[in-house]
Structure 1
Amino acid sequence: MTRVYLDHNASAPLKPAVKAAMLQAMEIAGNPSSVHAHGRAARRAVEEARATVAALVGAKPAQVLFTGSGTEANNLALRGFPGRRILVSAIEHDSVLAAEPDALRIPVTRAGAVDLEALDRLLADGAGPALVSLMLANNETGVIQPVAEAARLAHARGALLHCDAVQAAGRLPVELGALGADLLTLSAHKLGGPAGVGALLVAEGLEPEALIRGGGQERRRRAGTENLLGIVGFGAAARAARDELPLAGDLAALRDRLEREALAAAPQARVMGATLPRVANTSCLVLPGLSGETQVMALDLAGVAVSAGSACSSGKVKPSHVLSAMGEDASTASSAIRVSLGWDSDEAAVDRFLEAWIAMARRARAA
């Protein structure tokens, strides 16, 4: 049975160009911190990748701080400025919510966008400098958040703004300056790069307090020998993602067809966040009466890989905190799956999904 992979928001398959770049980098023997020729070759590869990652989001290479993951970058952003009040949207990724569990939660609308009036009230009500964390595209619904507007509100109150752009980069144009973000998180494996490498983009003049101490790597902001292979792969994935941005319309057409035909076959189903702009590749489908876990397993047996909620909870499937924050009841929040297309998705993949999902929906309705 040929399997279909529609879980790019969890991790995108490695792109051929990325694999080729990493294989070539395996020939480099040096430590990027060494001063001999081998070390200089490794350093050159790291800095070339740094420039490419920076270009993906319109930043300067010096603003890119490589980390071991997007999760680490989020933790560094939230924990690297002690003494600030932390405000996070209620629909953030678990790596933000768990980094500062006592942070104030900014509510969202039923449509799935952060409530900017509530954000402004929370900023005004507290004392002392604050830091706001707001993702650019939600990992479950795909809804694009008003980050630039939130940044203006934050800056007017003397606050910093961190943006988790992990699910947005490579799927829509991202410009650090236009967003107004002081800190921005990226992750390689969402772009078709390797897992185990991320980046935090840091505005000029800001110095987050290091979480990992030891050597002087990454301008003393993140100790430890750089993951040369991962960073080179990150650079190759960033280059490919930038080149492929014009293809987002093709993914949107695939996503829209998938939703249209799914709802036509199962009118009881719902698409969450569909009234707001979304990244082109993401669909959150609710099928009442059938748990997301059951749907994921049934589709897997049919050879189709999707997720229920976030895929970063050690294989556990639980009610979506994103849908709960949008005001949905526990039953709805437990009945959603996430379908996320990517660089290797095509009409045949959508056909396979629809065949399996519609058959499952009809069985559930008959039961």
Structure 2
Amino acid sequence: MRIRPKVIIESAKRWDYFQWFLLGFYELERNGFIDLEISCSIAERNLLWIQSKFAQRVGNRLLREYRKRWEDSYEFVGMIEYPNGSTKNFCIDSADAPFLFDRDLLERSDAYFKMQCPIRLNPEGFRLSNNVIAPWCEHQHQDSSLGLTERGGRKVFPDLVSYSEKIHPLMIGPRRLSFGNSFRSLQQGYENYTSAYTSQKKKRIMCYFGNAEGPRLEQNVSRDTMDWDWEADILSAYDGVLEHPNVKRARIADLIASLEEGADARVISRGVADSSDSVKDTAKIVPLEEFCAFVAQFQYNTNISGYRLSIPNRFIESFMVGTSIFTDQCAVKWYLPFDSCEVIETGRMGYELDADVDWSRVLHDLQNLPETDPAEVYAAFERKWRPDVVAKYIVDTVGNQL
């Protein structure tokens, strides 16, 4: 007879997005809190295996090509089976866009965890800027023949708010813990990152951004037929109404570079985003496996809300080494509020027009950041964001659903 809940993982086509939670489930099982079963399709099990055996050799290109051969998904789908025989379904939505949801899974799940969860689920939609509200949309296209990441109008989801009791905020893990997904490989990746923690911050503030411009604008993009999951469509349809976050990132990088000693401002490419002809300054690139050690040198890591105002991996990659975040105003939330030692917000930037950004406030806040307490930041990480802690939150939340 079972004496503890069993977490059954039924589908996860993008394992690398969910490694933080998978490691947490492994740890809960090892600590006797749950039983764990991975019960995915053969294709998904193969992808799990391919990542662990071949990814270092063949790279992400093979994984992308492999995914094209079968239905892709942003979700991690699971079920919890309880000792009394009852079951509850849950899923984790990893889509970067806070306003995209999977209606079918939302209807079928007892708990729907959104990694990029809006602070507010307003009936009219998600406020992308002062001038633009994005409608709630489905992952699925209006044209059902299109694949998940192909370009095409998405189905509108006008009644999303009626499902709000099922929608729960989650958090964002680091970009990748490991090429493999065994407990040992994930734990080694985790320890590699957290071992970089230091309470002795040698430098003051950093930023590390990919591009100084958004994607190239395209002609004849209609607001009625645009794809809200395509950056170029959004910027093209609202040209002159929105401005890409990369423009503000480049500007704040210049402000940081002008500060006194102890600042490090990196923009890898001053060209357009998502373009093969953008020239990268390779000398500024920090390898992923060394990134947390690089961040650990600084009191602050700078963020400007980017892709759909999502929270990026740099938040957790900073917290786990005792580094605080200086950011524009957040539009999405994690499952617990950030402590004052973790995050300091300035005004709205994101997709706002440059003329609408209060740059005088940004500069004032940048120049007057308080001294941090890295030990306090790391203690908050241990208390709130560790893999086993967030996995327990998932299990407890599912169990509390009516």
- Name the TM-score, length of structure 1 as normaliser: 0.24
Instruction: Determine which structure has the larger strand proportion and give its number.
Output: 2
- Name the TM-score, length of structure 2 as normaliser: 0.22
Instruction: Determine which structure has the larger helix proportion and give its number.
Output: 1
Considering Cα pairs closer than 8 Å and 6+ residues apart, tell me whether 1 or 2 has the greater RCO.
Answer: 1
